[in-house]
Copies of this chain bind each other. A is one copy, B any other.
Amino acid sequence: MPKNRTDYVILGMLGIGSGGSGYEIRKAIEETVGSFWGESYGQIYPSLRRLAVEGLVEERPPESKSNTRRHEYALTESGRACFREWLRLPFQNDPPRNEFLLKLFFGGEAGPQVSIGHVREVQRRNRQLLDTLHGIEAAARNASWQHPHRRYWMLTLNLGIALTQAALDWCDAALAELETIERSSGDHAPAPEASGAKSDAIETNEGARQ
């Protein structure tokens, strides 16, 4: 009975017939639950090993004659039982961490332009996410998926769409408000940092996740 959440995502993915190797499992996670759960190889590979030792998954090492190094894993019966048990347990609310909101909250310290830049970036990402989600939705309708869990998947998808849409609506209002602030507050915004601050636009957002 692992307490590690990574273990359970892996069991779950194997349970719905996704991937047999660490690489495939990771890809499946990214493609299906990627917008609300992430895992890195550094977690997955050691996890698979542990699960195999505990007998929750069965490991099939690469066939000696084979040319690949690929390890395949499959869910065992006890693995499935263990996963079901976990599903029934109360879910844990992970500590919230939203740096965008944090920066917006303190935005008064930097002036409207800075926050406008951040909100635009959020808008951009949410639009992109919404596209992706709508794409999945369309694919789901077009026959394809006839998996027994389909209706549950649609539920998570619907929440994703609803939240993203709500965020986008908010972006419009927020931009309007920030522009009002900018016009009214005019130029006497809080001083930019030391030197070389030529009131240029905010840096483009690199290094972003999700």
A contacts, CB < 8 Å to B: 5, 8-9, 12, 15-16, 32-38, 80-81, 83-85, 87-110, 114-115, 118, 121, 125, 148-149, 151-153, 155-156, 158-159, 162-163, 165-167, 169-170, 173-174, 177-178, 181, 190, 192-194, 202-210
Contacts and interface: CB of A to CB of B under 8 A. Distances in A.
Given A155-B174, A208-B90, A33 B81 contact: no
Contact of A96 (B37, B92, B93): B37
A44 to B, nearest CB: 14
Please list the 5 inter-chain residue pairs (A to B) with the smallest Cβ-Cβ separation, ordered nearest first.
A108-B149, A90-B205, A93-B209, A166-B166, A87-B110
Given A97-B94, A169-B162, A203 B88 contact: yes
Contacts of A210: 93, 96
Interface centre among A118, A151, A207, A208 (most CB of B within 10 A): A151
B109 A194 contact: no
A34 to B, nearest CB: 8
A109 B87 contact: yes
Contacts of A34: 96
Given A93-B209, A155-B174, A206-B90, A101 B162 contact: no
Contact of A84 (B110, B156, B162): B110
8 contacts: A5-B99, A15-B106, A36-B101, A37-B97, A88-B193, A89-B203, A91-B99, A107-B149
A155 B107 CA distance: 10
A128 to B, nearest CB: 12
Contacts of A107: 87, 149, 152, 155
Nearest to A78: B194
Nearest to A149: B108
A153 B83 CA distance: 42
A99 B94 contact: yes
